Amino acid sequence: MRVSDRDGTLRLSLIVLLAGLLIATATPAAARPEEPGRIDTGTYTSGVLTYTYETFVPDDLPADPALVVMIHGCKTTAEQQRRANLLDPIARRGGFVVLYVDGSPFHLLQQRCWSGLLTPALEGRTSGDAAAIAAMTRLAIERYHVDADRVYALGMSSGAYETTLLGAYFPDLFAAIGVHSGAAFDHGALGCVGPYLQTISTEQLAAQALSAEGRYRRVMPVIGFHGDADLAVPYECGRQVIEQWRQTDNLVPAPDAAPYEIPPQPTSITDGVADVPEGHPYTVESWHQAESSCPALQLWTIHEMAHYWSGGSTDPDAAEFTDARGPSASLAAWNFFSHIRRTDAGFRCD
């Protein structure tokens, strides 16, 4: 696909805008003493691009562990994201592997943003960052003998935009996805950076996601997180993530005419306040299929929070890019993922 001069200029302008708007996430760290485990590093080459990655592997890793793939936001690295979101200690306790994927030297030209934000139309099952992340995921599955039905993707900011693409292009790889401060499938920077502009309907996005799933289409469980004071990625885009996936999931043919349609209204709503000093209030909305004890969709709205990772590190080096007054998105995401096992038609609630 050829990119016009106008599109190239627009992309450069968006990069400059995103450099000021989108979140980074903080400074280097090795596995700390309270997080027994090791950090493995590696590279993956796709065409002319060489990506890097880090993997946190707990010391007491069970046989056939789960895998969470963490995808950072703009202006940050895999190591910095690992330091900020405090997923490693949860992985140690839960006995799962965390793969922190990173970009290539090319990504420095776009402020380390993933291309799912800037040029989602160029992403696909065999192209772009999405294909590279899927390949790195498969390497981790093989290396750590991961249970292939318990692989999950979790993204922040531009990484969240990328994660929605992964959910649609690779439903045969990822059992569920988590979208923190991102947007619906293929709804890139135009419309979901800065002021909210509905450049395309949710119904169209839902149909496009189903088409992207192709012969691998299945019900994709999704958990979303968004601050309702986010000025970088509008809160409306976070809500649209859930509605797009609800519609997409409901377009998947039901096996044996099973009644599993996800209703338009949440089946449960819970309000709380983060259990930390000056904690943010939050609302959790869940959507269940009939006769399922696990939610198929869940949205965490963190009230009064801007474009930050909810919860996370209070370390001065990392706290600039997290809001520790919010509930732990890392823990909430794992609690959601840990009950979900991928099946050909959707998921099984363990």
Residue 310: what pLDDT? 98
Residue 259: what pLDDT? 60
**Range list of H helices, the chain:** 5-21, 78-85, 88-94, 115-118, 128-143, 158-169, 189-192, 202-213, 235-251, 329-337
* pTM summary value: 0.90
Residue 34: what pLDDT? 52
DSSP helix/strand/coil, 13: helix
Instruction: Look up residue 146 and give its amino acid.
Output: V
Residue 196: what pLDDT? 85
The CATH superfamily label for domain 37-349 reads: Alpha/Beta hydrolase fold, catalytic domain (3.40.50.1820)
Residue 317: what pLDDT? 77
| Every domain of the chain and the residues it spans | 37-349
**Range list of H helices, 235-340:** 235-251, 329-337
**pLDDT tens per residue across span 116-164:** 998 998 999 999 999 999 999 999 999 999 999 999 999 999 999 999 9
Residue stretches of the chain with pLDDT short of 50: 1-21, 23-33
